[in-house]
Every structure is written in structure tokens, then in C-alpha cells.
Structure 1
Amino acid sequence: MTETSKAPVITIDGPSGSGKGTIAKLLARRLGWSILDSGALYRLTALSAVKQDVDLNDPEAVARVAQNLDVEFRSGQAEQPVSVFLMGEDVTEEIRTESCGDKASQIAPHTVVREALLQRQRDFRKSPGLVADGRDMGTVVFPDAPCKIYMTASAEVRAQRRYEQLKQQGQSVKIAHLLSEIKARDDRDMNRENAPLRPADDAVTLDTSGLPIEEVLQQVLQIWSTKQA
């Protein structure tokens, strides 16, 4: 077994808006580990395909885009998100739009696309450890991870969180529209044939609907501590 494969992994899976991305960043910083935002890779693939005029309904063409992504992640200050660059262009904000998220969800079910990104995701595993945020981290990408978390929250709570986030960015949106998009994405992700969104059999499920971020973080740290015992 290589040193890379020995590195511990904490997987945090769940639907959009469950808080998994925020918790993953805080957890990685607290532990001093690397972080994998797998959703960003799918969003980047979708965005790159659009910029290259590649048909998102052509799985083979999209997979070629995924294999040749010119991507760079740059860590910001402690409270700042990771900056994402595509072909040297800062696309951090662009990949977080609802439109880009929908396109990522559209290409994610394609087997050839997932295969193209699988090893790329596994390569993030290195000492001292990795926090992997996504939808199939515990079920497909790192099935041997010693600690698996599945975070969820009601669709209504997730829509409200997204509304507040977009409002802070100066965007004008309606909660009803966000709720409809979230429910449609959930249905698409949970019912796709390839790597559907679901908790791993050995995952601990956390409902974050009424919990502050710090409390969720403490629960995750406690779960990790228990797994080490």
C-alpha cells in the first residue's frame, strides 16, 4: 500500500445547500488537511465544455474536456473560499451560479465523464489527510474512507440558505424558483443510474436544518474522534 493510499479521508456527501462545502473547508483547516471539492470539478467540466462549444449531451466529447481540464486551485485567507482558475481565468464566482450547477448535474450521470474524473479525484489523497466533499465520495471515490458523513437538510431550508447567499452577492432571485431548482436537482441526482446520491452504508447522517455551522463542525469532529478510538 502506498503512502498516498494510507492517508486518512473524511468524506462529506449530501445534496446542494446542506452545508457540506462550508463544513469541509472548516474541517480541513481545523485538521490541517487537504480538501477536495469534487463538485467544482464537474462544474468546471461543464463550464469548459460550454466555453468550447461542446454539446453537453455528447458524453464522449464532455469526457475529453474533463480529461484535459486546465485547472488551478488557490487557497485564500482563512475565511475566504478557494479560488478556482480555468485556463488562467478566475472562474470562482462563475462556477457557483445556479446555471453552472444545473449543467454540472446534467453531465454528472454520464459514465464516461465520471470515469474521466475518478482518478483525478483520488489523486487528491495525500498525507496528512483529505476532506472530500461531494455526492459520491463515500460510495464510489473513497469507499475505504475511515470516516463518512452524509449531510442533509430540508429542501426549504436549503433554498433559503441559497437565497441569502445570492442576495449577499447582489443577485435578485426568488425563493420559489430556487426551491423548484433544488428539488429538480435532488431528483436528478438521487435517481440517476450511475453513482446516485445516497448515504454510504457506513456513513453517519447529519440533518443540519436547524443547526448553526459551529455545532455541525463539532459533531463532525466528534464523529472523527470516535472513528479513531
Structure 2
Amino acid sequence: MTVFKDQTAPVLTIDGPSGSGKGTVSTMLARELGWHFLDSGALYRLTALCALNHGIDLDQDADVAVLAEHLDIRFDVDNGSVFLEGDDVTRELRTEKTGEAASRVAAYPAVRQALLARQRAFRVEPGLVADGRDMGTVVFPDATLKVFLTASSEERARRRYEQLKGSGVATSYDEVLSEVMARDERDSSRAASPLVPAEDARILDSTHLTVEEVLETIRADLGKLSLR
């Protein structure tokens, strides 16, 4: 855990695999603290979706990286909407197809480098809550507090399956579990910024925890740093 010794805005990073609950927890904490919020996964999903929309081969890392550098995107903080080239793509970003494509392009070093400066630009006063997979290891290695939120693959698949079913998406639990496990393997074994906890991260397993219990643990850690 690193405490800032200068005037740089504080950062709380929450990393972890898909379905661990980090998006929900990060959003709630950012709202509660009155800090800015970065959903880094959305940037990779936007890059992937833009590539799909323009027929760019996802195996061509150089082409995808150029696209990432010039993304025309806008986040509406009031209602949580995300716009790509002027179109509201909030729902499209959360589909399994986009998620799968995002996991593929995120493995490219050139794409990660192209989006690095954009992510770091979110670090402004009064503070930032950054949700992702390498926030504490690569993007903000000097973060004030680092959390790695995880859960069993079965539980994460169950959560995702219930979410998709509630949205009217036809799928099966086995199919979702297979996708979760494949994404975990790809994210944790990639050469560029693999999904691993930072050495000084607080590791939280949310398999048997409620959202409120996870929040309480992080609140307590923040309280020790006198940031709340």
C-alpha cells in the first residue's frame, strides 16, 4: 500500500476478473466518495466494438492500435451512457460478443500502450476510482489503495448468466462458464499486462460475500488512510 507524498490526486484501483463484482463496487464507491470513475474495460470494449463495426480484422494488432488512438467516444456521467462515434452503444458494450472481442484486443501490447495515456488522464482531483485488470500493476502502480476482487469461476458464471437472462439474452449456464474460463485463461496468460494482483493489493474473494460486505472492507481500508 502506497500513500502519496505529493499533491497527486489519490487513486483507488479495483482489479479482478469479469464477474467478480468490481464494476458494481467501483461505481458505488466513486459515487459515495465523490471521486471520478474510470471503467478501463469500457475502453477496450469500445476499441473492439469499433473494430467490429468497421470490419477490421481483430488479428491485425497494428490496425486495432491505430483505431484505439483515435476513438471518438463520450461518457455521459449523468445516466451512465457510452457513445461511440455519436451513437449510444451502452447495451452493445455489455454483450458477450463484444466482451470476447475486447479480451482479444486487450492482449496486444500496442493497443494497451495506445490507451495508457487516456486512462491516466482520468487521474484528477478530488480522486479516482479505477476499475480494470491492470490498474494497480501497470496504469497506476503508485495507487493509494489497491484491491484485487475475485470470485470462483462458477460463481462469476452464475452471476453473468443471471444478468444475461434478466436482459432477455438466450444462453446457458454451461456456455457462460466456458466463456468465463476461456477469458480467464487468456487474460492471466497474456504477455502484456496479465491479470494478476499487485504485490501490495488487498485480495478480496467475493464468492460468499455480499456487495455491502465488500464495500465495508474497502471503506475500512480507506478509513485507515484518512481519505474518507
What's the secondary structure of 2:195's corresponding residue? Answer: coil
8 Å CA contact 1:5, 1:126 repeated in 2? no
For residue 118 of structure 2, what is the aligned residue in structure 1?
120
For residue 134 of structure 1, what is the aligned residue in structure 2?
132
Figure out how many residues of one structure are paired with residues of the other and give that number. Answer: 222
Whole-angstrom distance in 2 between the partners of 1:89 and 1:183? 32
- For normalisation by structure 1, the TM-score amounts to 0.94
AA matched with 1:218: E
For residue 69 of structure 1, what is the aligned residue in structure 2?
71
What's the secondary structure of 1:6's corresponding residue? Answer: coil
Shift of 1:55: 1.0
- 1:184 matched to 2:182? The reply is yes
Shift of 1:223: 1.3
Write out per-residue CA displacement over residues 60-106 of structure 1, whole angstroms, 9 at most, x where no aligned residue.
100111011010001235xxxx2100011010010101110010000
What's the secondary structure of 2:183's corresponding residue? Answer: helix
Identity of aligned residues (%): 55
Unaligned 5+ segments in structure 1 are none
Whole-angstrom distance in 2 between the partners of 1:156 and 1:227? 34
Shift of 1:5: 6.9
Whole-angstrom distance in 1 between the partners of 2:46 and 2:81? 12
What's the secondary structure of 2:131's corresponding residue? Answer: strand
1:42 corresponds, among 21, 41, 44, to 44
Whole-angstrom distance in 1 between the partners of 2:75 and 2:211? 24
- 1:6 matched to 2:8? The reply is yes
Write out per-residue CA displacement over residues 31-74 of structure 1, whole angstroms, 9 at most, x where no aligned residue.
00000000000000000011111111111100111011010001
What's the secondary structure of 2:225's corresponding residue? Answer: helix
Whole-angstrom distance in 1 between the partners of 2:49 and 2:179? 19
8 Å CA contact 1:8, 1:146 repeated in 2? yes
Write out per-residue CA displacement over residues 148-184 of structure 1, whole angstroms, 9 at most, x where no aligned residue.
0000000000011001111111112100000000000
Please identify runs of 4+ aligned residues in structure 1 that moved more than 4 A.
Answer: none
For residue 151 of structure 2, what is the aligned residue in structure 1?
153
Whole-angstrom distance in 2 between the partners of 1:121 and 1:58? 23
For residue 3 of structure 2, what is the aligned residue in structure 1?
none
Shift of 1:224: 1.4
Query: Residues 145, 83 of structure 1: CA spacing in aligned structure 2 closer, same or farther, 3 A cutoff?
Result: same
Please give the root-mean-square deviation of Cα atoms over the aligned residues, in Å: 1.3
8 Å CA contact 1:5, 1:125 repeated in 2? no
Where do 1:158-169 residues align within 5 Å?
158-169=156-167
What's the secondary structure of 2:137's corresponding residue? Answer: helix
Whole-angstrom distance in 1 between the partners of 2:7 and 2:59? 34
- For normalisation by structure 2, the TM-score amounts to 0.95
Whole-angstrom distance in 2 between the partners of 1:156 and 1:132? 25
AA matched with 1:153: A
